[in-house]
Structures are given as C-alpha cells and as structure tokens.
Amino acid sequence: MASEQQLEALAIDVAREAGELARRRRAEGVAIAATKSSVADIVTEADREVEALIRARLRAERPGDGFLGEESDAAQGTSDLTWVVDPIDGTVNYAYGIPAYGVSIAVVRGEPRPGRWEALAGAVSSPATGEMFHAARGAGAWLDGTRLSVNDTPSPAGALLATGFGYDPATHAGDLARVARVMPMARDLRRIGAASLDLAYVAAGRFDGYFERGLAPWDHAAGALLVAEAGGRFTRVDMPDDPRRALFVASGPAIFDGLLAAALGP
C-alpha cells in the first residue's frame, strides 16, 4: 500500500508535467473545443489533452485506481483509491490569457463522492506562476518547500475574501445577494476564477476566506485538503433550493462561523 507521501509525490510529478503542457498550449494559442452546461461553460482542446496525459500517467503508475475527471468518463478501480482531477481549473481565464489557472489532482479513499471520501493527498499546480501547492493527510500543506498556514488573526480592516460565480446566469442574482450579506465582514473581495487556486490561497494565507456555490468535485478535492492541512476549516453544505449547487466555505478558524452564517443567510 503506497503511503500518503508517495501518493503526494505522484500527484506533484503529474501536476508538474500536466502544467507544463497546459502552459505550452497556452503559448501556442487556445482552441475552444465545445461548450458544456451553457454557452459560457467552455472546454478547450488543451483541457482534454491535459486530462488525457494525467489519466495515462496515473494508469501507468497505479493501474488499479479509479478516476474521476472533469473532461472524461469516470472509471471505477479495483483498489479503494480514486484520483479526482481538474486538468485546467479556470478554463475561461486560460482561454482569455489570464495567468490564473490551476491543474488540480487529488487522491481519495472510499466512495469517490464529496463528503463521503477521505482525501489522502493532493497537488495544485499554478503553471503561469510556477507554483506547486501540495499536501498529504497528516503531513501539512506546502508551497514548494515552505509549510503553509492559514491566516487566523482577523485584521481590524476586515477579512480579505474570495468568491466565484457559476456558468448559469439564473444563479447570479442569488450569488450576488450572498456577496452583499458577506461584505460587512470583508475588507475587500477577490474573484480569481479558479476554485483550486482560491483554496490554495486560503491555505497560504493570501486570502482570509473563500465561499462559492456549485463547485464540482474536481474543483475542490485537492484544495480542501490544502486548507485542512494548513490549519483551516472547510465545509460543504447542501442547499435546499438546489441540491446540485452546494455551498462551499473555507477560512481560518477565527472567522469561519461568521463567514458560514453570512454566506448561508437567514
């Protein structure tokens, strides 16, 4: 049985190679392959190519494991482990040439469903900045060789918070109302456009907190482990109005309950 550190090393190695391919394709020019849930929800040729590379690397190294990726069919494994993969998180940024996108790779044990799985290791590569965020369960969260910890001393100016919006315009009014409820506790708001980077930045103390509805499993699998291993709190709350769009909140412990309450609303 591979240790969490061995799984982490594999996630880092594959995320690095995948990130380099994504960066090369970006430099060569990006082709939109299709749209998915709406005209705003695009997939590029590079998303598919990078996922195929990740899948092939993981199959070669760990043929018995399952796979759950954004751009291809899920595969059940014979081992109890599943790799949860977003080949290019922040695809719209990637297509527009905004250097804020991530390659997110996590490995989980048990049923490959958020809230049921146990995250063992993960890596979030930021190819445009050359940064590699990584964590193994019980071994801390790291940015390259530096150990990460969340901010847990709220500033008198308020919290620096991040959020995001889904591709369905019908959800925007509700998401903006949430922002209005949260802003009284914020010094300012950031919208990076990639949940994996938002969560990595909470783990690194670059953000005090983050909240968003409707993330897919691959958007948060590695990032949630980074936050937890950096001493932060992360939760996923099913929302009665739309069970497909759970609410995700992450921050240091000091502001967590306040942020969750504001994000949930009355």
> Which residues bind to ligand LIP, rule: CB under 6 A?
70, 86, 89-91, 164-167, 193-195, 212, 219
Minimum CB distance to ligand LIP smaller for 40 or for 180: 40
Cβ at position 214, least distance to ligand LIP in Å: 7
| Cα 249 versus chain centre, distance | 12
Taking the C-alpha atoms of residue 79 and residue 93, their distance in angstroms, rounded to an integer, is 35
Q: What secondary structure does DSSP assign to 123-161, as a single string?
A: EEEETTTTEEEEEETTS-EEETTEEP----S--TT-EEE
Q: Which of 49, 87, 90 is nearest to 68 (CA)?
A: 87
Residue 157, number of CB atoms within 10 A of its CB: 9
Minimum CB distance to ligand LIP smaller for 62 or for 91: 91
Cβ at position 164, least distance to ligand LIP in Å: 3
Minimum CB distance to ligand LIP smaller for 2 or for 189: 189
User: In the complex, which residue's CB is closest to ligand LIP?
Assistant: 164
Cβ at position 6, least distance to ligand LIP in Å: 27
Taking the C-alpha atoms of residue 156 and residue 40, their distance in angstroms, rounded to an integer, is 38
Residue whose pair of structure tokens reads 């099913």 in the numeric block: 238
Cβ at position 108, least distance to ligand LIP in Å: 18
Minimum CB distance to ligand LIP smaller for 44 or for 151: 44
Write the CB contacts of 127 (distance below 8 Å, at least 6 apart in sequence).
19, 20, 22, 23, 26, 101, 102, 103
Cβ at position 248, least distance to ligand LIP in Å: 9
Cβ at position 80, least distance to ligand LIP in Å: 26
Minimum CB distance to ligand LIP smaller for 46 or for 62: 46
Under DSSP, the state recorded for 196 is: H
What are 125's two structure tokens?
């590569």
Minimum CB distance to ligand LIP smaller for 90 or for 114: 90
